Amino acid sequence: MLGDVRTADVHRQELSAPAPASLPVKPVSLALPDQITKETVDAAQQAGLAADELSTIRVFQANTPSVVNVTNIRAMQSYYSMNIEQIPAGTGSGFVWDRQGHVVTNFHVIKGASEVKVTLLDQSTYSAKVVGFDPDKDVAVLQLDMPEAKQAGLQPVSLGSSTGLMVGQRVYAIGNPFGLDHTLTQGIISGLGRELSTGLYPIKNVIQTDAAINPGNSGGVLLDSKGNLIGINTAIADPTGKGASAGVGFAIPIDTVKGLVDQILQYGRVMRPSLGVVIAPPQALQRIGEKGVLVLDVTPGSPAARAGLRPTSRNSAGDLVLGDIIQSVDGNPVSSARDLLEQLDAKRVGDKVVVDVLRGGRQRLSFSLQLADRVLGSGTE
């Protein structure tokens, strides 16, 4: 796990003041795609730019129409009129997923919003509805409120793969740091296989980059040298606590994002597999010196209940009777609640697993369960 890491947070507005008439940094006016294609490249070649510079220009021009500015608007009480006003709380980044008007961003960019606005490259702004999100993996999907004819003109980002990436590869980040829309930075992949945790479930295989990531970059694209999306810029190492780039940024791998977005578009949320058990705090097992996780409760009708796992209870004399202690899933050791979460996170709803438990301090049993959907906020694993 990484220390001193924070999300590449949205560019915040001052909430103690009245709603500003505009964002503190006016978006930079950029040429439209039909103005920056062959003519721009020809001009660049005539200016004697190097081949790698031309490559960078092409990547930016091909992808900047896919990147959007996401504004988080919150209902706040005015200190002057005492009325509830819609105040821009901050801005982040996002990108066009398809021509049906779906935009993908980080969950923390739109968290707490009463309204979300999305601004495209041509500075047209649309309201957006939240289709669904996964707070643990920090991914959200928006639906633009725009005519179908306009949707057809959207340019989805070109999806790549985060499989087979190598440290040292060149990467590009496009986003809206400090409200400066469609800002390009470049760097390399500095590390692979990092792990971030924004909730219960850790984000695995996170990409580390030295491309400058700053407040407002959250939800923006991380591209490979071919211009394909390989990650969503999400967090930065922040040793000073000032929220500025220290040359260590992190992106959620696109292979993870694809699966989450597909589920959100299909179900409106992410379906996460569950045994249907409530786990006791680790101190409960530390006292008796056993490894594993103690089952505190079993949800009625859950896979664990149907299989026969036992919760912690009290006997007729009022003495505490410990429940089953889960020690492995599919042969993989479980020594903490985190281990169990990681084991389940690698599965899908409907998968069958074998759970090995210790019962009564002596009896070792194995149960075959078919994983069910874990309801968000249910407290079960």
Closest CA to 107 of 292, 308, 263, 260: 260
> pLDDT-based confidence at 75, cuts 50/70/90?
low
State residue 264's pLDDT score: 97
> pLDDT-based confidence at 333, cuts 50/70/90?
very high
> pLDDT-based confidence at 16, cuts 50/70/90?
very low
pLDDT average, residue stretch 235-262: 86
> pLDDT-based confidence at 247, cuts 50/70/90?
confident
Residue % of the chain over a pLDDT of 70 = 80
Domain at 272-374, CATH class: mainly beta
> pLDDT-based confidence at 147, cuts 50/70/90?
very high
Residue % of the chain over a pLDDT of 90 = 59
State residue 301's pLDDT score: 92
> pLDDT-based confidence at 38, cuts 50/70/90?
low
- Higher-confidence position of 247 and 286: 247
State residue 17's pLDDT score: 29
Closest CA to 61 of 239, 206, 182, 145: 182
State residue 326's pLDDT score: 94
- Span of 6-10, 153-157, 274-278, 295-299 with lowest mean pLDDT: 6-10
Count of alpha carbons within 13 angstroms of residue 117, beta-carbon side:
15
> pLDDT-based confidence at 14, cuts 50/70/90?
very low
State residue 78's pLDDT score: 58
pLDDT of residue 285 exceeding 60:
yes
State residue 46's pLDDT score: 63
Task: Catalogue the active-site residues.
Answer: 108, 138, 218
State residue 230's pLDDT score: 98
pLDDT of residue 284 exceeding 80:
no
Name the pTM for this structure.
Answer: 0.79
User: What stretch(es) of the chain map to CATH 2.40.10.120?
Assistant: 1-270
pLDDT of residue 13 exceeding 80:
no
Q: Name beta bridge partners: 357.
A: 326, 365
Please state, rounded to an integer, the average pLDDT across all residues of the chain: 84
User: What stretch(es) of the chain map to CATH 2.30.42.10?
Assistant: 272-374
> pLDDT-based confidence at 18, cuts 50/70/90?
very low
273 to 144, 247, 270, 334, 372: CA distances (angstroms): 30, 36, 10, 16, 5
Q: How far apart are the first and last CA of the chain?
A: 21
State residue 90's pLDDT score: 78
3-state secondary structure (DSSP) of residue 140: strand
Sort 339 into a burial class: Cβ within 10 Å, 0-12 / 13-18 / 19+. Answer: middle
> pLDDT-based confidence at 8, cuts 50/70/90?
low
pLDDT average, residue stretch 68-97: 74
CATH architecture, domain 1-270: Beta Barrel (2.40)
pLDDT of residue 304 exceeding 60:
yes
pLDDT average, residue stretch 111-138: 93
Closest CA to 219 of 124, 128, 91: 91
pLDDT of residue 3 exceeding 60:
no
